[in-house]
Amino acid sequence: MLPARISRGPRLADVLQSSLQSVLGEENALALPPSTHAVVLLVDGLGATALRGRAGHARFLASRLAKSDVIEGVFPATTASAIATLTTGVAPGQHGMVGYSVLDADNDRLVNQLKSWDAAMRPESWQLQPTIFEKARDAAMPAFAIGTARYANSGLTDAVLRGAEYLSADTLDERFAAARRVIETTERAIVYLYVAELDMAAHAKGWESDKWLGELEKLDAAVSDFARALPKGVGVLVTADHGIIDVPLDKHVLYDAVPELIAGVRHVGGEPRCLQLYLEPGLPASAADDLAESWRSVEGDRVWVSTKAEAIADGIFGDVDPRALTRIGDVIVAARKLVAYYDSRDITLAGRSMVGQHGSLSDEEMRIPLVRLGAFAR
């Protein structure tokens, strides 16, 4: 069964919510002091293990990462789920973004929550909770989201950043410059700044590659310069959505080669390190238990396996909104060892070229930094 990873300490869900409360002068879960501006820097794919493992390439960030500055992300350890948790302040089971690709039961299809937005999957209704940016707007607090132009009008942006004014800035330096302009031109504000470069490099080459290290060095220099020029009263939190594991090609497992692992399965969602298996409708209630047992028997300690009922009872998705129930797989298979699961029937070989991967429950994927700078430094 999936291991319990419910943190009693600071959580990703607390980060943006506490930032807003700081600027409003309210008590908050992170015990942040009052501030004029709060900047939350989300570095896609920057796990705490990787940051510590490459501390020599990120001397500024690593030197400010205390043991207490490592927090738990969310399950599944994937971007859509994690960013929605950051920007709503609730667990995936509540906001409904419960995986990379999930079942849209009304239309009997899998939907990719990064890309599959259409008339049948509207951002304003698919993501089930109000955002912290909307709460800021209701409190007359300016809220900004800074990212590249390619994401400005995406469905995911509309789902998880609604309520914020989106500022397009393509290069890393341009994004930090945009944040500085917000600070200079407003009396108070909250700012979300997104960095995709490390995650992209990790997927393409791996987090141990020269490409990833180069992006880490650029990020560290940019954060250092930004932090050293902060006006008094401005606080910064640097965090991530998930970490990364490099999975070599010889550790790819073609699960469809074993018939009992796909018996009764209609759709396979999730991602290679966290499959969500959806059964054919009309099967007996025992079908999920039988499928889960088949995976446990065949894959052994390479995986954590849970039925939907077990996962919900264990709280791995947090409290689950009834509207999100059908989106969670009937059986969840999370990679425990250095493996990734693929379907050889996928003629596109989608994802087989990826080196860096994530989604599961390992420390490398789940534990993320929370570096406090400026007015938030301890």
- In the chain, the amino acid numbered 225 is D
In a domain, 175, yes or no: yes
Q: Which two tokens stand for residue 112?
A: 């990719």
| pLDDT for residue 4 is more than 90 | no
Whether 59 and 126 map to the same domain: the answer is yes
Whether 69 and 204 map to the same domain: the answer is yes
Whether 166 and 196 map to the same domain: the answer is yes
Domain with 196, as residue range(s), is: 12-97+114-246+361-374
Whether 220 and 349 map to the same domain: the answer is no
Mean pLDDT of the chain: 96
Q: Number of helices (H) and strands (E) in the chain: give both, helices first.
A: 14, 18
Whether 137 and 286 map to the same domain: the answer is no
- In sequence order, the 6+-apart residues with CB closer than 8 A to the CB of 150 are none
Pairing of strands 252-254, 340-342: parallel
In a domain, 52, yes or no: yes
Q: In this prediction, what percent of the chain has a pLDDT beyond 70?
A: 98
In a domain, 185, yes or no: yes
159-214 pLDDT, tens digit per residue, is 999 999 999 999 999 999 999 999 999 999 999 999 999 999 999 999 999 999 99
- Give the per-residue pLDDT at 2: 73
Whether 176 and 292 map to the same domain: the answer is no
For the ranges 59-73, 86-100, 277-291, 343-357, the lowest mean pLDDT is seen at 343-357
Whether 273 and 126 map to the same domain: the answer is no
In a domain, 109, yes or no: no
- In sequence order, the 6+-apart residues with CB closer than 8 A to the CB of 48 are 65, 70, 240, 243, 367, 368, 369
Question: For residue 68, how many C-alpha atoms fall within 13 Å in the half-sphere facing its CB?
Answer: 5
Whether 92 and 240 map to the same domain: the answer is yes
Q: What share of the chain is helix, strand, coil (3-state, %, to 5)?
A: 40, 20, 40
Whether 187 and 46 map to the same domain: the answer is yes
In a domain, 2, yes or no: no
Query: Which CATH number belongs to the domain containing residue 276 in this structure?
Result: 3.30.1360.180
Q: Which residues lie across from 112 on neighbouring strands?
A: 101
In a domain, 276, yes or no: yes
| Dihedral angle of Cα 225, 226, 232, 237, to the nearest 10 degrees | -120
| pLDDT for residue 265 is more than 90 | yes
In a domain, 4, yes or no: no
At 243 the three-state DSSP class reads coil
Q: 175: closest CA among 43, 58, 87, 86?
A: 43
- In the chain, the amino acid numbered 133 is F
In this prediction the pTM is 0.97
Whether 56 and 118 map to the same domain: the answer is yes
Please give the Cα distance from 354 to 247 (Å, whole number). Answer: 8
Query: Which CATH number belongs to the domain containing residue 365 in this structure?
Result: 3.40.720.10
Q: Which residues lie across from 169 on neighbouring strands?
A: none
CB-based contact 375:262 (threshold 8 Å)? no
Whether 91 and 191 map to the same domain: the answer is yes
- Structural domains in the chain (count): 2
Give the mean model confidence (pLDDT) for residues 365-373.
97
In a domain, 7, yes or no: no
| pLDDT for residue 347 is more than 80 | no
pLDDT-derived band at 273, boundaries 50, 70, 90: very high
| pLDDT for residue 3 is more than 90 | no
Whether 58 and 36 map to the same domain: the answer is yes
